[in-house]
Amino acid sequence: MRDGLTGNPFPGLWIVVRNVGGNREIEVQAHVDSGTERSLLDGQVGMALGLDLSMGNIQLFRSATGAELVSRLHRVVLAHDSLGVNELMIAFSETRLTRNLLGRDFFNLFQIGFRERRSKILIAAEEV
């Protein structure tokens, strides 16, 4: 997969995000990021799902440069043709993001490996 900003390859995938009621969904491109503890999606994704972001508990993120980002937690459904359907508590940013991130909370659901030299990510729906 290629990054929409730089055109460089990155470990990521397209996933469908649904509200828990299942009446709204949106497909998003997300980076697989082992450096973030919790998955973080742009708040616009949450609003497209009909979520009231202000109702979620606050989750703060801090970048490597020290910048702080405020997000709100909401339970959503993640779906992928090969990986199945899973519920996950996702952080939705209060400010615009340039990248959606699937963090280590997402990693807990799957077996994940990287082939950096080949710019490939390997994801298995069950432990191997």
Looking at residue 117, its pLDDT comes to 67
Q: What string of pLDDT tens digits covers the 128 residues of the chain?
A: 444 444 444 567 899 999 998 799 999 999 888 888 999 999 999 999 999 999 999 999 988 888 899 999 999 999 988 788 889 999 999 999 989 999 989 888 877 666 666 666 666 776 54
Q: Which pLDDT score, from 0 to 100, does residue 59 have?
A: 95
pLDDT of residue 128: 45
What value, to the nearest 5°, has the Cα angle with vertex 102 and ends 25 and 116? 130
What pLDDT is attached to residue 108?
82
CATH topology of domain 12-124: Cathepsin D, subunit A; domain 1 (2.40.70)
- For 29, how many CA atoms within 13 A lie in the half-sphere containing its CB? 12
| pLDDT for residue 11 | 61
- Radius of gyration, alpha carbons of the chain: 14
Whole-angstrom Cα distance, residue 32 to residue 41? 12
CA dihedral 10, 90, 106, 21 (to 10 degrees): -110
With residue 71 as reference, give the H or E element that holds it. strand 68-80
pTM: 0.82
C-alpha to C-alpha distance for 123 and 110, rounded to whole angstroms: 7
